[in-house]
Chain A
Amino acid sequence: MRMHRRTLLALAVFTGLTAPSMALAADDTIKIGLLATFEGPFTVLGEDGERGAMTAVAEMNGTVAGKKIEIVKGSSDASPDSAVRAARKLVEQDGVKVLVGPLSGDEGIAVKDYAKTQPNVTFINGTSAAQDTTLRDPAENFFRFSTDGAQWMAGLGTYAFNDKGYKKVATVAEDYSFPYTQVFGFMAEFCKAGGHVPSKSWVPIGNKDFSSVIAAIPEDVDAIYVALGGADAVNFLTQYQQGGGSAPLIGGSITVDQTVLTSKGKLKDVLKGTPSAGPTADTNDAPAWKAFVEAYKKQPGAFPSPSLFAHGYYVDMKATLLGLDQVGGDVSDGGKKLRDALSKLSFDTPTGKVSLDKNRNAIADIFLTEVTEGADGNLMNKLVKVVPQVNQTLGIPEDEFMKLGAVNRDNPSCP
C-alpha cells in the first residue's frame, strides 16, 4: 500500500491546482501590469523603475477615469525567458489588459514578440531601449514612450570628438542588444566626426572579474567608452581604478546614472568630469523636472535624483494613464480605442514634449551631461546641452538609416 498512499499526496497537490484563481477585476478598478527586474543583477534598477511608475500613479491620486488603479507586479531577472514568463503570468493568469514593462533590452524584444500573440492586450515599454524592439518587425500593440539607447547618445559622439578632443576611444559594454544600441548611437556620431574605435570589449551581464577586459584595452586610447549597468559598472570602474587605469571615461546612459553615482567607495574621483548623454539630466532647471524630482522623492527608498529608469517608467506609466483617461478607462473592446489614443498621444513630460513615430517609438529631447559633485557631496549629471526632439533614426533619413544595418557586436565599426 505504500505506493498508494504516496500517490494520494500527489493527487491532493494536483487537485489544489484545479482551482484557478481567475480573479476578475471589479468594474471600479483597472488592472495594470508592471513588469520590472526585481531580481538578478538589475534589481536596483528595477526597484527605481517601480518608484517612477508609482510616482505617475500617485500623481493621478491612484485613480484614472474614476476607476481605482490596481498595479499587479511581475518580476524578471533581466533574461528574456524570465520576462516572457512574467508577462504571461500577468496577462494570462492575472488578466491585465494593459502592461507596462520590461526594463532591459533583450527583454523588450522578447516581450514584443510575445505581444504579437496577445493582440487584445496593450503593451507599453518600461525602459528597455534596444533599437529593434520598435525599428524592425514591430508589434502593433507595443508602444515605447521612452526613447531607445541610440537616441540617448545623441550629441555625445560629436561632443567627445570636438569639445573633449578624443580621437581614439576603446569601448567596454555588456554583451546584449541594449549596449549594442548605445555603442551604435555613440559611434554613429563619433566615427562620422573622424574618430576611431580600435577595440570593442563585450562582457557578459553579471561579470565579476574584469581583469582580462582591462588588460585588453589598448594603451594609446584617449578615452574609454563604458556602457555597463548597475553592479557591472561599479565592478568595472572599481577594478579599473585599482588596476591603475587613468584614461578618462565616456559614459553610457546607465553607467553614470544615479544607480551607479550613489554607490559607496572611491569612484567619485574616477567619475568626475565624465561626459554622457541620456533622457535625463540631474541639474535640469526646468520647473517640470524639479516638480517631478520632488514627487519622486516621496517614494520610499528614493535616490537623491531619479535615475533614468525611474524617468522611463514614469513617462511610460504616465502615457498609459493619459491614454486610459482619454478612453474613460474602457478596454472592453480589446484595447483598440486605447491603442488609437496612445498612437496619437503627445504630452509634456518633465523632460520635454514626447510624441510617437509610425513605429510607436518616442521622439523626445535628449540631454548631454557631465558628472559633477553637487553642493551636498553627491555626484550629479550636470546639464551641458539639450538636443531637441531626437527621433529613432537620429535625424538620418529612414531608408539611409536602415542601410546601416541591424546593431550587433561588429556593426558599426571604425577601427
Chain B
Amino acid sequence: MSLAITTNVTPQQNWLERLGAGHIILAVALMLYPLVASDFFLTQIGGYSLIFGMLGLSLMLLAGYGGMVSLAQITVAGISAYAIAILGNNNSNILGFGWPWWLAVPFAVLAAALASALIGWVSVRTEGIYTIMITLAIATATYYFAQQNYAIFNGHSGYTGIRAPAFWGIGWRDARPFYYLCLGLAVLSYAAVLYGSRSTFGMTLQAIRDNPRRMRALGYHVTAHKVFAWLLAGVIAGLAGVLLVWFNGRVSPGTIGVDAAIDVLIIAVIGGLRHPIGPFLGAVVVVLMQTFAIDIVGAERFNTLIGMVFLVIVFVSPDGILGLWGRIKPHLAQESLRPGQ
C-alpha cells in the first residue's frame, strides 16, 4: 500500500499561516453549526459523525501512515465503552464500581490503548491482507465473547443506563454540550494525528510502511514503531468509545459487531486515507446515508442504495472523497498545480 502523504512544511510561518485558511473556516463553521442545527442534527448526525470520524481516524493513522489495515478499531472502542460501564455506574445490576468519570475515563482509555497495542503486537507479524484477517478474527471473537459472557459483558443485552457526567453545571449529554465535547475531542485527535505525521516518529512510521526491510537495516526497531502506532490509535479509538457509550447511554455486543467494524472501514475508505480529514468526511456521508436512505427508497431496499452509493464513490475515485477532490481541483484552480504555496 503506497499512499502519497502531502506535507507542506514551509519554514518561518506564523501560527496563523501554519494553521491554514481552510482549517480556520472549517473550525468557525463547526463552532457555529449548533446555531442552525436542530438537536437531532446536532447529536444524531453531528456528534455521531464526529465519533465515527474519530474511529475512522484511528484506522487512518494505522492504514495511511503505517500500512496496517485494521478491522478491530470498533473492538478497541468497545473495550473502553464497556470499561466505562463497568467502572462507572450502570443500571444492569452487574458490576458497576461507581467510580467518578475523571477516574473511569483515563482508565477506560488506557485499557483501550493497551488492548490496541496488544492487538497490534499480535498482528504486526503479518502484512497486508493477513493483518485484515487477523484483526477481523479478533473483532469477531470479541463480539461473540461479549455476546456469551455474562460475568463481565452481561451477554446480549449488555449494559444500560450509562450516563454522561454533569459538571461545571453542564449536563454533557445535552445536545449542545455533547456536540462541543465531541468536536473538542475530534479536533484534538485530528490535530494530534496531523502533528504526529510530521514528527520524527510519524516520518519513521511512513518510511517503515514504504520499506520495512531498509528501515530495519538502518537500525530502526520496526515492530516497536508499529506497536506504538497501535497504542496511539488505541487512545483515539478509546476516546471515541467513551463518547459512544455516553451517546447511546448503553453498550451491547451489537455496538461492536462485525457490521460496525466494517462501517469503520467503509468510513475510512469512503473518506480517503491520505489525510486525517478524510475519515471525518467519510463519517458524515455514511451517517447521513444510513439515517436517511430509508426515507428515499423505503424499507425494503435501502441497504442496496447505501451499498450502491459507496460503490460509486470508490469506483469513481479509489482514494475516496479526498481523491475525488484531488481530481476535480485542477479543473477548478490552475494554481494548485504548482507545487507548494
- What is A's interface to B at a CB cutoff of 8 Å? 1-11, 13-15, 17-20, 22, 36, 38-39, 47, 50, 72-75, 77, 79-82, 84-85, 88-89, 92-93, 106, 109-110, 113, 175-177, 202, 204-205, 409
Is A17 within 8 A of B333, CB to CB?
no
Judging by beta carbons under 8 Å apart, are B298 and A73 in contact? Answer: yes
The contact sample of 18 A-B pairs, CB cut-off 8 A, is A3-B22, A4-B21, A5-B22, A5-B332, A6-B326, A7-B277, A9-B325, A10-B281, A15-B29, A17-B46, A17-B288, A18-B33, A20-B41, A38-B299, A73-B294, A92-B44, A93-B40, A204-B147
Q: Which residues of B contact A2 (CB under 8 A)?
A: 6, 8, 329, 336
Contact residue among B22, B253, B299, B300 (Cβ-Cβ distance under 8 Å from A4): B22
B257 an interface residue at 8 Å Cβ cutoff? yes
Minimum distance in angstroms from A125 CB to a CB of chain B: 17
B15 to nearest A CB, angstroms?
15
Flag B244-269 by CB within 8 Å of A: 1 or 0 each.
00001110111101010000000000
Contact string against A for B residues 301-320, beta-carbon threshold 8 Å, 1 for contact and 0 otherwise: 01100000000000000000
Top 3 closest A-B pairs, CB basis? A79-B254, A7-B22, A176-B156
Given contacts A38-B294, A77-B259, A92-B38, list 16 more A-B pairs with CB under 8 A. Answer: A1-B333, A3-B8, A5-B329, A6-B277, A6-B322, A7-B22, A7-B277, A10-B26, A13-B281, A17-B37, A79-B253, A79-B257, A92-B44, A110-B160, A113-B250, A176-B157
A92's closest neighbor in chain B, by CB?
B40
Q: Which of chain B's residues have a CB closer than 8 A to the CB of A85? A: 44
B interface, CB within 8 angstroms of A = 6, 8, 20-23, 25-26, 29-30, 33, 36-41, 44-46, 144, 147-148, 150, 155-158, 160-161, 248-250, 252-255, 257, 259, 275, 277, 280-281, 284-285, 288, 291, 294-295, 298-300, 302-303, 321-322, 325-326, 329, 332-333, 335-336, 341
Task: Determine the chain B residues whose CB is within 8 A of the CB of A17 once the complex forms.
Answer: 33, 37, 41, 45-46, 284, 288
Q: A39 contacts which chain B residues (CB < 8 A)? A: 303
The 8 Å CB contact of A93, one of B44, B252, B253, is B44
B25→A8 contact, CB < 8 A: yes
Q: Using Cβ atoms and an 8 Å threshold, which residues of chain B touch A73?
A: 294, 298-299
Task: Tell me, in angstroms, the Cα distance from A175 to B303 when the chains sit together.
Answer: 26
B300: contacting residue among A22, A47, A81, CB under 8 A:
A47
For residue B302, which residues in chain A have a CB less than 8 angstroms away from its CB?
Answer: 38, 75
A80 with B250, Cβ < 8 A, contacts A7-B23, A89-B44 known: yes
Quick one: which of B253, B280, B281, B299 contacts A50, CB cutoff 8 A?
B299
Q: How far is the CA of A205 from the CA of B21 in the complex (A)?
A: 50
Distance to closest chain A CB from B267 (angstroms): 14
Closest chain B residue, CB of each to CB of A83: B254
Q: Nearest residue in B to A202 (C-beta to C-beta)?
A: B148
Q: Which A residues lie within 8 Å of B25 (CB)?
A: 7-8, 11
B147: A residues at CB distance < 8 A: 175, 204
Min Cβ gap B275→A in Å is 7
- Does A11 contact B26, Cβ atoms closer than 8 Å? yes
Known: A11-B29, A80-B250, A89-B291. A113 touches B160 (CB 8 A): yes
Q: Contacts A13-B281, A80-B254, A175-B147 given: A5-B161 contact, CB under 8 Å?
A: no
Closest Cβ of chain A to B171, distance in Å, is 13
- Structural contact, B255 and A18, CB atoms closer than 8 A: no
Task: Name the B residues within 8 Å of A80 (CB-CB).
Answer: 157-158, 250, 252, 254
Docked Cα-Cα span, A4 to B255, in Å, equals 35
In the assembled complex, the CB of B17 is this many whole angstroms from the nearest CB of chain A, namely 11
| B134–chain A nearest beta-carbon distance, Å | 21
Q: Which residue of A lies closest to B326 (CB)?
A: A6
Name the contact of A79 in the complex, choosing from B160, B252, B288, B298 (C-beta under 8 A).
Answer: B252
**Which residues of B are found within 8 Å of A88, using beta-carbon distances?**
40, 44
Residue of B nearest to A174 (CB): B156
Q: Closest B-chain residue to A80, C-beta based?
A: B252
Knowing A22-B38, A113-B161, A176-B155 are in contact, say whether A14-B29 is a contact too (CB < 8 A). yes
Distance A204 CA – B248 CA, assembled complex (angstroms): 22
Q: Is the beta-carbon distance between B299 and A1 smaller than 8 angstroms? A: no
A177 touching B281, Cβ below 8 Å: no
B336 engages A5 (CB within 8 Å): yes
B321 neighbours in A (Cβ, 8 Å): 9
Does the CB pair B335–A1 fall under 8 Å?
yes
Across the interface, which residues of B come within 8 angstroms of A36, CB to CB? 299
Identify the closest chain A residue to B38 (Cβ). A20
Are B250 and A3 interface neighbours, CB within 8 A? no
Taken together as a complex, chains A and B put the C-alpha atoms of A15 and B280 apart, in Å, by 14
Most buried by A among B41, B255, B284, B321: B41
Candidates A82, A92, A205; contact of B156 at CB < 8 Å: A205
CB neighbours (8 Å) of B148 from chain A are: 175, 202, 204
- Residues of A within 8 Å of B156, CB to CB, are 106, 175-177, 204-205
| Complex CA distance for A77 and B326, rounded to whole angstroms | 36
Are the C-beta atoms of A81 and B37 separated by less than 8 Å? no
B294: chain A residues at CB < 8 Å are 38, 73-75
A85 to B30, CA, bound (A): 23
Query: How distant is the Cα of A1 from the Cα of B248 in the complex, in angstroms?
Result: 39
Of B40, B254, B326, B332, which contacts A81 at CB under 8 A? B254
Residues of B within 8 A of A6 (CB): 22, 275, 277, 322, 325-326
Q: How far is the CA of A81 from the CA of B44 in the complex (A)?
A: 13
A347 CA to B155 CA, complexed, in Å: 38
Q: Which residue of the partner chain, among A10, A38, A110, contacts B277 with CB atoms under 8 Å? A: A10
Q: Are A20 and B40 in contact (CB under 8 A)?
A: yes
User: Closest chain B residue to A71 by CB distance?
Assistant: B299
Q: Is the CB of A7 within 8 A of B26?
A: yes
Which residue of the partner chain, among A14, A22, A50, contacts B284 with CB atoms under 8 Å?
A14
| Complex Cα–Cα for A15 and B284 (A) | 11
